[in-house]
C-alpha cells in the first residue's frame, strides 16, 4: 500500500502539534501526614441528621443523611410529593414528613403490614417495585409528579434499574432520584448498579458532534440529542448512594445564550486545548 505524502504545510502543522502534545496526567494523590489529619476540623450534626437521631432511622449508620442534607435543604419547603421505595418501619417516612413540611410522603413496600404506618401526610402502597403497574399505582395517588424519589427497596440491581427506568421520566422536571445501598454493602461487589449509573455521566456532559457553536451560544441541543442528554443535569456518587438530578440541559442555564457583545466584553474566547 502506497504511503500518502502530506503536503509540506500540513506536515509542518502536524509536527508542531505532535511536539506540543502532552498526555492527560493520571490522578495520583499524596496522602496527608497523620499530624495534619489530626488537625482537620470536625463537623456538627445538621437538622436532617438530628431528625435521623430523633426517629432512629438506619440511614444515619451509612452516613447518608449529610448527603441528603446537601441536596435537599434548599428545596424542603417546596417539595409536595416524596416517594420512598422500601418502608419496613415508620422511622424513615416519619423523618421525611417532618423534614418536608408541605409534602405527602408516599411509601412502597411488599409487606402488607406496612399499611399500618399510614397517617396524616403518609400514604403506603403495597406491591413489588419491579412491576410498572405497582409503580404507576403510587404515582396515581399523588397530587402531581414526585420531586423526590428514594429507592431503599429490595437493593437488587435489576430492581433498582427497572424502577428508575420507569419512574425517572415521570418525575417533576427538576426532581432528584436517589438509589441507596449500592455496591459491597448489599454484596454487589461487581458494582452492577453503579456501573449502569456511570453511563449517565455521558449525558450530563453531552456535546453535539460535528460543527458546533461556541458554548456561550449553545442554549439548545440538536434533534440528535437523546432524552437523557436533554433531561439530566447532574449525577453525584457517594459511598453506597447515588443522586441523579433531572433538569433541562442546557436550558436550565439562565445566562445562555450570551450576546456577541457580552462574549467580547468578558473575553470568553473559544477554548483551543
Supply the pLDDT for residue 11: 57
Number of domains in the chain: 1
How far apart are alpha carbons 54 and 30 in whole angstroms? 39
175 assigned to some structural domain:
yes
- The answer, yes or no, to whether residue 40 has pLDDT greater than 80, is no
Q: Report the distance separating Cα 82 and Cα 85, nearest Å.
A: 10
Q: Which of 67, 106, 155, 159 is catalytic?
A: 155
Given pLDDT bands bounded at 50, 70 and 90, which one contains residue 273?
A: very low
- pLDDT tier for residue 27 given thresholds of 50, 70 and 90: confident
Q: What is the pLDDT of residues 184-234, one digit of tens each?
A: 989 899 999 999 999 999 999 999 887 767 888 888 898 899 999 999 999
**10 belongs to a structural domain:** no
Which residues lie across from 245 on neighbouring strands?
A: 176, 234
**Is 2 a domain residue?**
no
| Distances 144 to 141, 173, 264 between C-alpha atoms, Å | 9, 11, 44
What's residue 1's pLDDT? Answer: 52
Quick one: angle between helices 91-99 and 47-55, nearest 10? Answer: 150
Tell me if 271 is assigned to some domain.
no
Share of the chain above pLDDT 70, in %: 88
Q: What is the CATH number of the domain that holds 111?
A: 3.40.50.150
What residues make up the domain containing 64? 47-206+217-265
Q: Is 85 domain-assigned? A: yes
Known catalytic residue at 155: yes
165 — pLDDT class (breaks 50, 70, 90): very high
**Is position 24 within any domain?**
no
Nearest to 120 by CA among 154, 97, 89: 97
Does residue 272 sit within a domain? no
For the cut 60, the answer to whether the pLDDT of residue 262 exceeds it is yes
- pLDDT surpassing 60 at residue 7: no
Q: Is residue 39 part of a domain?
A: no
Amino acid at each position: 500500500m502506497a504511503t500518502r505524502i502530506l503536503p509540506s504545510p500540513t506536515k509542518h502543522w502536524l509536527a508542531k502539534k505532535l511536539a506540543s502534545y502532552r498526555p492527560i496526567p493520571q490522578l495520583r494523590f499524596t496522602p496527608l501526614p497523620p499530624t495534619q489529619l489530626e488537625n482537620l476540623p470536625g463537623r456538627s450534626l445538621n437538622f436532617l441528621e438530628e431528625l435521623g437521631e430523633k426517629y432512629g432511622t438506619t440511614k444515619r449508620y451509612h452516613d447518608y443523611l449529610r448527603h441528603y442534607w446537601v441536596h435537599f435543604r434548599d428545596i424542603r419547603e417546596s417539595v409536595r410529593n416524596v416517594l420512598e421505595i422500601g418502608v419496613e418501619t415508620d422511622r424513615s417516612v416519619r423523618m421525611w414528613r417532618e423534614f418536608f413540611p408541605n409534602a405527602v410522603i408516599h411509601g412502597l413496600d411488599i409487606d402488607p403490614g406496612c399499611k399500618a404506618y399510614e397517617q396524616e401526610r403518609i400514604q403506603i402502597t403495597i406491591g413489588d417495585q419491579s412491576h410498572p403497574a405497582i409503580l404507576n399505582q403510587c404515582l396515581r395517588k399523588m397530587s402531581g409528579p414526585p420531586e423526590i424519589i428514594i429507592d431503599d427497596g429490595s437493593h437488587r440491581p435489576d430492581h433498582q434499574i427497572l424502577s428508575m427506568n420507569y419512574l425517572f421520566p415521570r418525575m417533576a422536571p427538576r426532581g432528584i432520584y436517589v438509589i441507596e445501598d449500592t455496591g459491597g454493602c448489599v454484596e454487589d461487589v461487581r458494582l452492577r448498579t453503579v456501573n449502569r449509573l456511570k453511563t449517565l455521566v455521558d449525558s450530563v456532559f453531552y456535546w453535539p458532534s460535528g460543527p458546533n457553536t461556541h458554548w456561550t451560544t449553545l442554549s439548545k441541543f440538536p434533534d440528535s440529542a437523546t432524552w437523557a442528554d436533554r433531561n439530566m443535569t447532574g449525577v453525584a456518587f457517594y459511598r453506597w448512594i447515588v443522586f441523579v438530578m433531572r433538569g433541562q440541559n442546557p436550558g436550565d442555564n439562565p445566562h445562555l445564550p450570551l450576546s456577541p457583545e457580552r462574549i467580547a466584553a468578558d473575553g470568553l474566547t473559544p477554548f483551543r486545548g
